[in-house]
Amino acid sequence: MEKLIEQFSFGLFFWQLLLLVILLLVLRKVAWRPILNAIEARESGIKDALEAAENAKKEMQNVTADSERLLQEARMERDGMIKEAREMKEKIVADAKALAQVEAENMISQAKTAIEGEKKAAVAEIKDQVATLSLEIAEKVIKGQISDSGKQLKLVEEMVGDIKLN
């Protein structure tokens, strides 16, 4: 210890003190401040970039989820529409079938009525003609039988029997 105190050099202490103060001040100004600021700026830049990337990722996920949802909705809508269309088609077809049935029945019944009418008309006409013919025959017979009354009777009977057959 005594040797240490004896060896203590005040000059060296003085110079070390002076130089260390200068070194501290100079380095603080020219080195540490700009270096630490640059490092800090870089670190905050990295932090910001990472955060921005994280946000972008989240947004991307949201967008993907949204589009997925939209797609799902669209798919469901499409399925719904297809189903609806199919139902509509079936209904239309069924309706058309029913309508056609009714129409056809109508037509058939109309045709039947018409045929009936025609038939009646034809029968009436035939009856008229038969009557006419009968009258003509009767006339002729009368004309012819006036002369032969037996024959005339016989003829009338024959004719009347023919009519019954009809």
List residues near other proteins by CB under 8 A.
Answer: 4, 6-17, 19-20, 22-24, 26-28, 30-36, 38-39, 42, 45
Nearer to other proteins, 45 or 144 (CB): 45
The answer to whether residues 137 and 159 touch, using CB atoms and an 8 Å cutoff, is: yes
CB of 50 to other proteins, least distance (A): 14
- In whole angstroms, how far apart are CA 10 and each of 4, 5, 26, 149? 12, 10, 24, 194
Nearer to other proteins, 52 or 135 (CB): 52
The residue (of 39 and 94) whose beta carbon lies closer to other proteins is 39
Name the residue among 158, 163, 155 with its Cα closest to residue 139.
Answer: 155
- What is the closest distance, in whole angstroms, from the C-beta atom of residue 56 to other proteins in the complex? 21
Q: How far is the CB of 51 from other proteins (least distance, A)?
A: 17
Cβ proximity to other proteins: between 1 and 146 the closer is 1
Q: Taking every pair of C-alpha atoms in the chain, what is the biggest distance, in angstroms?
A: 201
Beta carbons of 117 and 109 less than 8 angstroms apart:
no
C-alpha 155: how far from chain center: 84
